[in-house]
Amino acid sequence: MPRTDSDTWDLASSVGATATAVAASRALASEGPDALLDDHLAAPLVRAVGHEHFIKMIEGQTAVDDDPVLNRRAMTEQITVRTRFFDNFFLTAAKAGITQAVILAAGLDTRAYRLPWPTGTVVFEVDQPEVIEFKTRTLTDLGADPTAQRRTVGIDLRDDWPTALRQAGFDVTRPTAWIAEGLLVYLPSDAQDRLFDNITELSAPGSRVATEHMDVQSLPADWAEKLDERSRRAGSELKLAELFYTGERNSAGEYLAAKGWRVTTLPARDAYAANGFELPDDELTAFMGKDSGYLSAVLQ
């Protein structure tokens, strides 16, 4: 179903299902003696959601061996590069003395439970109320304990989440590490700008932010349809073309730089190489452009 301005979701539908897909990828990369990741909570969370396709995914039944992007090795390497980038972003911020972190559109993110946060660190998770409630309840039932002070903020990012964040104890005087992982393409262009406006307003000097770097405007008009077509070969029923917001939008890096952030971009090819992998030579990868990858920034 196409997006609307007031649509909602759970973890088995619409945008929420993409969060479950990402968790399933992390679970797959965390399996076996040569596991690339260590996210032991991802698989039980996916099973608790109960979506058949994603359960098959964590059991290794959905990989397409002859697809350069959707074979098991390519999928686990991609999620490993992505997960390690955001993990290292938080860990580097923590080493620099930042003890307040915010995970926007947290979904099934388990960093509040698995990263070695310094004592006194507060991690805020912001997402739809139903998503927050499900994950909190499921992890409690699993006996999982956060490794930081975890505070949840159940609110849609299209609503007044800054007020809700402050009401949850967020301290605007403390430098903050923010991540917006896998989020921007699901926001309308004006909502993306408001997101960065709000982050900037809430951030003390020295704060940091990380997200993906992608020139959406340069993508072919049918790129999402091509991605859906490939995904269907793996049995996915997700229609990403109905979930993405395409068209003109500001470059995240340029927008942040104009607001006083010192921006660094890491091309995907370099991110892969840093992890000992090679970026797949494929149409879908080429769509993203040679400079696509990851972005981090520090507020001056």
What number of other Cβ atoms are within 10 A of residue 234's Cβ?
17
CA distance 125 to 97: 20
Sequence-distant (≥ 6) Cβ neighbours of residue 150 within 8 angstroms? 112, 113, 123, 125
Domain of residue 120, residue span: 96-299
Residue 186 lies in a domain: yes
List the one residue out of 26, 25, 83, 20 whose CA is nearest residue 48.
20
> Tokens 């039980």 correspond to what residue?
44
Residue 73 lies in a domain: no
Residue 120 lies in a domain: yes
**This model's pTM is above 0.85:** yes
Residue 256 lies in a domain: yes
Residue 282 lies in a domain: yes
User: What is the domain count for the chain?
Assistant: 1
Residue 33 lies in a domain: no
pLDDT values of the chain reduced to their tens digit, one per residue, 300 residues: 566 766 777 788 888 899 999 999 999 999 999 999 999 999 999 999 999 999 999 998 887 888 888 889 999 999 999 999 999 999 999 999 999 999 999 999 999 999 999 999 999 999 999 999 999 999 999 999 999 999 999 999 989 999 999 999 999 999 999 999 999 988 989 999 999 999 999 999 999 999 999 866 666 677 777 777 877 877 777 777 788 887 889 999 999 999 999 999 999 999 999 999 999 888 777 656 556 899 999 999
Cα 246 versus chain centre, distance: 18
Residue 70 lies in a domain: no
Residue 161 lies in a domain: yes
CATH label of the domain that carries residue 255: 3.40.50.150
